[in-house]
Amino acid sequence: MSKRGDSRIEVLQGTLDFIVLQTLRWGPRHGYGMAQQIRANSSNALSVDTGSLYPALHRLERKKLIVASWETSENKQRVRVYRLTDAGRKQLAAERSKWEQLSAAIAGILNPPGAEADA
Amino acid sequence: MSSREQDPIEEELDAHLRMAIEERMARGESRGEAERNARRELGNLTVVSEVTREQRRGPMIWVDRLTQELRVSMRSLMKSRAFTLGVVGCWAIAIAAHAAMLAIVDQIFVRPPAHVSDPNRVVRLYARFDYPGQPAYTTPTFSFQAADALRRDASRVGDFAAYAAFEATAGLPGGIRTVRASAITRNYFGVLGVSPLLGAFPVEGLPTLTSCSDGMVISHALFTAAFGGQSSVLGSTVRVADRVLPVCAVAPAGFNGGDPTNPEVWIPVEVAGVWARGANWREDRNWWVNIVARVHWFAQSRSDDVAAAAKRVLEPIVAESSRRGPPPVFAVIAASIVPGRAPGALAQNRTILWLGGAATLLLLLATLNVSTMLLLRTLEKQPEFALRRVLGASSGTIARHVGTEVIAIGALGAVVGLTLAQLLRPVLQQLLGVDAIPIPLMRVVAIEGAALAVAAVIASLPPILAAVSAQRAFAHRADPRSTASARAGLARSSLLVLQVASCVVLVAGALVMARSLKAVRDLDLGIDASRVLVASLDDQYAASLGKLPASALVSDIAAKAAHLPGVTAIATANRIPFGMAMGMSVFNEEQKIITLPNRGVPMHTGATHGFFSAIGAKVLKGRTFTAAEDSANARVAVVNATFATIAYPNAEPVGRCIFLGSPKYGECYRIIGVVADQRRFSVLPEEPIMDLYVPMSTGLRFSHPATQIILRVDGDPASLAPAVERIARSVLPPAAPITVQPLARRLDPQVRPFIAGTRLLSIYSFVAFIVATAGILGTLAYLARLAKRATAIRMALGATEMRAAMSVARSGIVTTVLGLVIGGALAMALRGRAGPLLFGVDETRIVMLIGQAVALVGLAGVVASVVPAWRGSRPGVFRSLNAD
């Protein structure tokens, strides 16, 4: 949740699923762990709203891109741990390719070849 | 709550919260601070878990919600069983009546015969004849020659095929039995655009590897019943009459081509013509085949073009066949193959449409009643709804709750009602005289679906509005019931007014129809048809045998049937009442022709001496024939009252001399008696014509042979029919076309619409009467309960029981009166449209009957208003004050 003047960026609509899949690429995570990792990996720049994260996790599970199971955490708590499925991996690859194309395109717009550096 | 019992999503969010708190505490926040911050970060847990649940279920979340709401509604309805039973029962009865009637309306007016492709381009032909001096008539049959001519000469506008129903003896795997058959031209199935279920239909020209030319097609019903549904039936043979025929194809299930006889086998006419119509089946005087045509799309032809082309081709054939008399005005009608659009079934069709309207009115009335009851229930529950609104429930949630309750009631009513409709429909089909074809439940559901949806909307709107308005009542800190009751008063009164009005229309309709039926039943037909059995040998078949041999066979059957127990009179004749008639020129003693202006010459009947007793004719003057006068030498005649009045306006007819055929014959036939006029075609009054009766021997000289055996019997004539048919079959050559049936059955199609209309409207109006009265009673009982406190105060202040009761009953009475006025006006407006359906009920009588309906419903409404009001003003009412 961002506040006025906060340097954190809310996750853009439509990119949350991609971020969740990408986060799970490094191994199984529970929801809280995932939120923490997203924040840490983005150097505290990205904030995932809990009200969006859990609906996204359950939506991805319904689409069979991830699977979940109840496990006990290191703090002896019952937690729901999510893992990437093969379908999720394929989806991630596709999303990643699209994202890279989009980033390159936007980078191209921001820094057109031969343009002078901004003053 | 243990984790096992906890909702998994909530448990997951709890775990998230705990981990967030622990981490914050590890960072140095106090427990309280950590909890506050973690909760703030997580947001509204209820909302998050709800959104998560929706995402988890995807589109199925709506099913979940509906199921949940339905479960709650069903629980709530089960708690008030009497209410549920009343509402569901009320709706189910109306749905059953409506769905059954609508299925029949669909069957008659909308649905073409099953499996006919592009049915809009298929027409059935009818010939209309208007002979001078006789009522015009329409027939669906043509000669085979006519069908052949159309196929040859009118192919520019369409393809023509012929078919004719008959019965044949067939050797089936289960034994030998009579089957319903149809003689068809080989292009019949092609013209209808039907594809076989198995095998290949016969085709014209030489048979190919996949077709057979002289084989038979069997119905799906026969395929399953007699051949066990085995495809090995193709190629097997069946003996039909004197031929062994291969089975070429199986027709698709339910196909009958619009032929109400529902054929079991179809056989090419070249094979079956002789069985169906005898050796002369090709002759032009033999009109026995039906013709269907498929209009060419490329010619952009319309059915009118087909009719015009057919008329051009057939006119010379008609002129040729009536060369002995003046040619008729001839026309061809090309009508839709949808049964209800055939000419000649107007009275029945109008009745069906009106009954469809009455059933819709009954459904509307029941729906209004359900709506009223639901509205009262909602008013009772308004404090609960108001509380829920204050606690944050949206108006959509409240509306969904009430709407779901209506859906639950509607679903229960629909299940019970549609099941009842499937049982009721065959009864209605029989009563209305339409084909007893089965109608799949899904078709009924599809037809009824829209009506049910509209009914559900009508029923749910007032209670939903009342439930949603509960919040305002609560906000004003008033008693939600009384405020809401005032707000819902208009809706409640309107519903009651509409109920009373619908009830008036239905009751008035039933009274008028009953009066109409009585008028039909009271008609004097000039004969007593109720105890008469008639065995009729086909005229064309008799002609093919020759006059004398045919008459001899018929006399032989009559002589044998006379010994059957229960026969009180028997005669033979060449025509019967309500059958075809033949005219004859008759001259008086001055050798002037006797004619009725604009109605032509007398119709003549040749009959043996028992004829008048057998048909129950009334003898007005003189006597009828004796046994001795059956011989060829008797020159006597009996005339009807119209003949006597026209020929001898101011003189005694008995004893006068008339000359038949031509005065030059010079043979005097002495009039020996006068009988009452008989109806010729219709049970309804028709223009009188002159009738002349001569002994059968004389009839033979002038026209057709005796083909009719008329028996008067003690008891039910139908019970003697099998015995008479056995005798006839033992005398006649095999497969001779003879039918044996009670004379009254010929009148049935004419009387049936009145009977069916009266019975069904009476049932519908009775149900409407009960529903409307129950609606008023229920509402007034509720109002009386609501007004108990006010009544007690009035009585405490000195009002009498009567005055207190009347103040409560007033609203019911005012509602009833309003409903009576609207219903009466509606019935008056509709009376003109019902005219063609009625008989013998004049304008004044209709107005009187509408008045009676208004009075009857009004009385019930007043009683239903006063009784609960009176009960509410009894001494016990003071308890409500004490309670306060």
pLDDT of residue B477: 45
Calculate how close chain A gets to B4, using CA atoms only, in Å: 11
Contacts of B44 in chain A (CB under 8 A): 51
Name which of A34, A11, A14, A15 is nearest A83 in CA terms. A34
Whether B58 contacts A62, CB under 8 Å = yes
Name which of A59, A70, A66 is nearest A85 in CA terms. A66
Contacts of B51 in chain A (CB under 8 A): 51, 55
- Model confidence over B146-199: pLDDT tens digits? 898 888 887 888 899 999 988 777 888 877 777 889 999 989 999 999 999 988
Q: Give B320-386 as a 3 state SS string.
A: HHCCCCCCCEEEEEEEECCHHHCCCCHHHHHHHHHHHHHHHHHHHHHHHHHHHHHHHHHHHCHHHHH
A61 and B56 within 8 Å at the Cβ level: the answer is: yes
Q: Which residues of B482-521 are buried (b: 16+ CB within 10 A; e: fewer)?
A: bbbbebbeebbbbbbbbbbbbbbbbbbbbbbbbbbbebbe
pLDDT of residue B77: 84
Contacts for B664 with CB less than 8 Å, ≥ 6 apart? none
Residues with pLDDT less than 50, chain B? 1-4, 207, 475-478, 480-481, 881, 883-884
Contacts of B47 in chain A (CB under 8 A): 51
Mutate to test the interface with A, among B51, B54, B55 (most CBs of A within 10 A): B55
Whether B737 contacts B334, CB under 8 Å = no
pLDDT of residue A28: 93
pLDDT of residue B481: 47
Interface check for B14 against chain A (CB to CB < 8 A): the answer is no
pLDDT of residue B133: 62
Contacts of B57 in chain A (CB under 8 A): 62
Residues with pLDDT less than 70, chain A? 1-14, 114-119
Contacts of A3 in chain B (CB under 8 A): none
B48 and A58 within 8 Å at the Cβ level: the answer is: no
Contacts of B53 in chain A (CB under 8 A): 58
B42 and A62 within 8 Å at the Cβ level: the answer is: no
Which SS3 state, helix, strand or coil, does residue B167 take?
strand
pLDDT of residue B3: 43
Interface check for B39 against chain A (CB to CB < 8 A): the answer is no
Contacts of A58 in chain B (CB under 8 A): 9, 52-53, 55-56
B51 and A51 within 8 Å at the Cβ level: the answer is: yes
Distance between CA B596 and CA B602 in Å, rounded? 8
A1 and B19 within 8 Å at the Cβ level: the answer is: no
- pTM for the complete prediction? 0.62
Contacts of A31 in chain B (CB under 8 A): 12, 16
Q: Residue B503 is encoded by which pair of tokens?
A: 């009830």
Mutate to test the interface with A, among B19, B24, B49 (most CBs of A within 10 A): B19
Comparing CB atoms, the residue among B16, B42, B52 nearest residue A58 is B52
Q: Residue B881 is encoded by which pair of tokens?
A: 């004050």
Count of A-B CB contacts under 8 Å: 64
pLDDT of residue B639: 94
Contacts of B7 in chain A (CB under 8 A): none
Interface predicted TM-score (ipTM): 0.85
Name which of A61, A63, A46 is nearest B12 in CA terms. A61
**Chain A residue whose CA is closest to B4:** A78
Tell me the CB-side half-sphere exposure of residue A29, using CA atoms within 13 A: 22
**Chain B residue whose CA is closest to A36:** B20
Contacts of B3 in chain A (CB under 8 A): 78
- In B106-219, alpha helices (H): 144-153, 188-192
**Chain B residue whose CA is closest to A3:** B41
**Chain A residue whose CA is closest to B40:** A1
Interface check for B42 against chain A (CB to CB < 8 A): the answer is yes
B16 and A49 within 8 Å at the Cβ level: the answer is: no
Tell me the CB-side half-sphere exposure of residue B440, using CA atoms within 13 A: 7
A51 and B58 within 8 Å at the Cβ level: the answer is: no
Contacts of B10 in chain A (CB under 8 A): none
Whether B632 contacts B547, CB under 8 Å = no
A62 and B56 within 8 Å at the Cβ level: the answer is: yes
pLDDT of residue B430: 75
pLDDT of residue A57: 93
Mutate to test the interface with A, among B9, B10, B52, B57 (most CBs of A within 10 A): B52
**Chain A residue whose CA is closest to B17:** A32
